[in-house]
Each structure stands twice: as structure tokens, then as C-alpha cells.
Amino acid sequence: HSSNMEQIAANAERASIKYKQVEFMSERLGQIYDGVISGVTEWGLYVELNENKCEGMVPIRDLDDDYYEFDEKNYCLRGRRKNKIYSLGDAITIRVARANLEKKQLDFALIEK
């Protein structure tokens, strides 16, 4: 029973932290940050910002310089034409694109250097 309650408490804590991150970043739309790819999925790249540890996503649909596919075996996104690869741990630069408090979602846009 207690492990179930601990799980509920941990989930609530994560949700409130995420809400506060989105609230904090919603005042920073358009700003540029350096970060690290903290997750790779078929939907896009999760990025943790170096400056404040906020995490958001660069949706795969917004990576418009190529057609990217999720490489599950190598845990990366790979461009079909240019063969550019985004992998876990890569340093990238983003712009804060969208902040949705209701869904607790932060969307970032990739900045090419």
C-alpha cells in the first residue's frame, strides 16, 4: 500500500515540477538556450537546458531541414537525405517556441549553428 502512495506522491511531484518549468519558460518565449539531448523518441528530441535544467521537446515535425526517422537500435534521429544524426547527449541550441501550461508541455525549435 505505501509503495502505491509513494508512487502517487512521486507522480504528483513530477507533474508540479513540470508545471512550474512550463510556467517559468512561458515568460521566455523566443529566447535562445544551450542544452543537451536528454531523450530521443519517434516524436522528437527531449532537450534539457544547461542554464536551468528545464526540459522540453523539439518535435520531429519541426525538424524541417530533412526527413528524420527514429533509429531505435542506435537511439537517435537520422536524416534520410543528409544523414545528419541527433543522439542522446548531443549539445544543441534551441529557441523556446511554445509553452502549454494545461498540458505541461514545452516545445523548443532547433537553432542551426
Q: How many CA atoms lie within 13 A of 101 on its CB side?
A: 6
The answer to whether the predicted template modeling score (pTM) of the entire model surpasses 0.85 is yes
Stronger pLDDT, 2 or 90, i.e. the higher one: 90
Task: Using the predicted structure, report yes or no on whether residue 28 has a pLDDT greater than 80.
Answer: yes
Q: Which residues contact 81 (CB under 8 A, 6 or more apart)?
A: 66, 67
- Mean pLDDT estimate for the chain: 93
Q: Which residues contact 47 (CB under 8 A, 6 or more apart)?
A: 35, 36, 37, 38, 55, 56, 57, 58, 92, 94, 108
Which pLDDT belongs to residue 13? 87
pLDDT band, very low/low/confident/very high, at 101 (cuts 50, 70, 90): very high
Domains of the chain are 2-111 (2.40.50.140)
pLDDT band, very low/low/confident/very high, at 14 (cuts 50, 70, 90): confident
Stronger pLDDT, 18 or 55, i.e. the higher one: 55
Task: Using the predicted structure, report yes or no on whether residue 1 has a pLDDT greater than 70.
Answer: no
Q: What is the mean pLDDT of residues 69-98?
A: 95
Residues 109/28, Cβ–Cβ less than 8 Å: no
Residues 60/66, Cβ–Cβ less than 8 Å: no
pLDDT digits (tens, 9 = 90+) for 48-83: 999 999 999 999 999 989 999 999 999 999 999 999
103 DSSP 8-state letter: T
Residues 92/37, Cβ–Cβ less than 8 Å: yes
